[in-house]
Amino acid sequence: ELALQAIDEIYKTHKKTGATIVIATHDISLIRDGFRAVELKDGRIARDGIAFTK
């Protein structure tokens, strides 16, 4: 899928440069293990922590 390829390139850039990257998505499958994830519900923070997809 094109979205996964794009996200993979973004993560590669992060690993090379150490740059902070902010991704806003409705597709949680794009989140990688070990990255910080903030979930919003009704405009408020519902969860905030390290993402683990397994």
Task: Tell me the per-residue pLDDT of 4-53, one tens digit each, with 9 for 90 and over.
Answer: 899 899 989 999 999 988 888 888 888 877 788 899 999 999 999 887 66
pLDDT score at 18: 92
Please give the model's pTM, rounded to 2 decimal places: 0.64
Domain count, the chain: 1
Residue 51: the pLDDT is 79
Query: Which amino acid does the sequence have at 6?
Result: A
pLDDT of residue 53: 62
Residue 37's domain comprises 2-50
* Residue 14, beta-bridge partner list: none
**34 DSSP assignment:** T
